Amino acid sequence: MLDIQKIRADFPILTQKVNGKQLVYFDNGATSQKPKVVIDAITKYYEEINANIHRGVHTLSQLATDAYEVSRGKIQNHINAKFPYEVIFTSGTTHSINAIANGFASILKVGDEVLVSALEHHSNIVPWQMLCEKTGAKLVVIPMNDEGELIISEFDKLLSDKTKVVTVNHISNALGTLNPIKYIIDKAHEVGAAVLIDGAQAVPHLKPDVQELDCDFYVFSGHKICGPTGVGILYGKEEWLRKLPPYQGGGEMIATVSFEKTTYADLPHKFEAGTPNIAGGIVLGTAIDYLNEIGFENIQAYEHELLEYGTKRLLEIEGLKIFGTAKEKTSVISFNIEGIHPYDIGTIIDKLGIAVRTGHHCAQPIMDFYQIPGTIRASFAFYNTKEEIDTFVEAVKKAKMMLS
């Protein structure tokens, strides 16, 4: 059992009023709010140990380096990576995916295939399209059904010895669908394909075990899990990280440089060119500590309650249709009301202090599948309440009445 009021007291922004109304924040799929312990840790870094890392012999540099590497170790333990150097700090999920897609440009050739799912965020489509354009490889799409689930029988048929990469999100940001990634990973490995899992929407709700999953790459962003913006994680198996070329060149990622030849630094520095978001990297560890203290089993159970309650309450509204009704899903409800544009609903309920996301959620192919312009997406976190859902439902009813 979670003490929700105690948890809510950890988040200063939740006391805020928007347009004169108490804030109801249901845009957690876009970014999570930050607890005071994370905000304080950012301040503490800049007030006490601000210095560049890995390069200085002076005390502050050593303190910053130690804190940064301690955070890397926390993330290693959190996702159960085998080695700390398999954890690469990036600027976010998009950066992480681009780094791997760019690396495969040296491996793929004409006739090879990259499998992506129909449920992907643009960040896990566009880099692979660019890769295929560059190499002559073919982008192949794993189709979805009306419930918002991947058609796994079709995935099985699409796999072949031409398949070199399979890239799938763990959870759909637009629909909340929890994909059967363990099955997908195992089947892809049978044909020798590498697998990248986009975990951006999964890590707020569950604790991935990359060794148990046996994925080759797992990527996510800090700001989705109560951490700062501008920092993310690229996990890669050691064998793949050694095989792929670095994504960027510059300082930190080199062993030796001459005008004739450069040799690259060992992992993880090979993929960490330039001065990183040091504060972000350190404080991401703080955020993960905070969530682990609450407990991901507790978070999952409570968020499932919110999902069931929110689904039941919203379906009381006549003309409301939920998109994404997978048997396995997380606390995301994507919906429309017949005859009303989602943007109009979002604009009205914002005036009532309620933050949701409207549009295609950077998942335009999903909206094209349903032949709709977008949806209203309410995404719940462990600091939300059933009372907030009641307020939200009443606001949607009011907006419907005004727009009908």
**Residue 354's beta-bridge partner residues?**
24
362 is a catalytic site residue: yes
DSSP SS3 for 142:
strand
Residues 132, 215, 226, 362: which is the catalytic one?
Answer: 362
Rounded Cα distance, 259 and 250, in Å: 14
Residue 5: how many other CB atoms lie within 10 Å:
9
SS3 per-residue string spanning the chain? CCCHHHHHCCCHHHHCEECCEECEECECCCCCCCCHHHHHHHHHHHHHHCCCCCCCCCHHHHHHHHHHHHHHHHHHHHHCCCCHHHEEEECCHHHHHHHHHHHHCCCCCCCCEEEEECCCCHHHCHHHHHHHHHHCCEEEEECECCCCCECHHHHHHHCCCCEEEEEEECECCCCCEECCHHHHHHHHHHCCCEEEEECCCCCCCCCCCHHHHCCCEEEEEHHHHCCCCCCEEEEECHHHHHHCCCCCCCCCCEEEECCCCEEECCCCHHHCCCCCCHHHHHHHHHHHHHHHHHCHHHHHHHHHHHHHHHHHHHCCCCCEEEECCCCCECCEEEEEECCCCHHHHHHHHHHCCEECEEECCCCHHHHHHHCCCCEEEEECCCCCCHHHHHHHHHHHHHHHHHHC
Rounded Cα distance, 241 and 271, in Å: 9
Could you tell me where the DSSP H helices lie in 271-295? 278-294
Which letter, b or e, does each residue of 209-234 get, where b requires 16 or more Cβ atoms within 10 Å of its Cβ?
ebeebebbbbbbbbbbbbbbebbbbb
Catalytic residues: 362
